[in-house]
Amino acid sequence: MKPSEETVRLFEKDRFATDNGAVIEDVSDHYAKCVLKVEDRHRNAMGSVMGGVYFTLADFAFAVAANWQAIGTVSLNSEIAYLGAAKGDRLEAEAFCIKNGRTTSYYRIEVRDELGNIAAIVNTTGYKKA
């Protein structure tokens, strides 16, 4: 489902992600898809997408999936595996909730390139502060 204007306004406060081009494309119950148009500023000296871009987009997708209904979940731990160089000029991160417990949660975030290839996978443990 498309994000509401309220959701978009809320996550515009995630300035690092949004200032670097991350946009919410889809949200639902403990799920989010965020996208980013790859620009020259996102590339490293070898011309590939910088690792921090994959992680920033994945972290943003986690934040949206875990918080768009109720703010209060933060990341306790995240682990990223880089699986290949992204092709094309668009990245997409989908955050899936694997477990949503009383105080902790666990999300798997898949970052795909424009061709649909998985470029990175992030596993994140969240903690509910609220």
pTM here is: 0.95
- pLDDT tens by residue, the chain, 130 residues: 888 888 988 899 999 999 999 999 999 999 999 999 999 999 999 999 999 999 999 999 999 999 998 899 999 999 999 999 999 999 999 999 999 999 999 999 999 999 999 999 999 999 999 6
% of the chain exceeding 90 in pLDDT: 90
Residue 59, pLDDT score: 98
Written as six digits, the tokens of 104 are 């902790």
Question: Which residues are 127's β-sheet partners?
Answer: 74, 104
Q: What is the bridge-based pairing of β-strands 73-82 and 90-100?
A: unpaired
**Run of H or E residues at 68:** none
Q: Which domains can be identified in the chain, with CATH numbers? A: 5-128 (3.10.129.10)
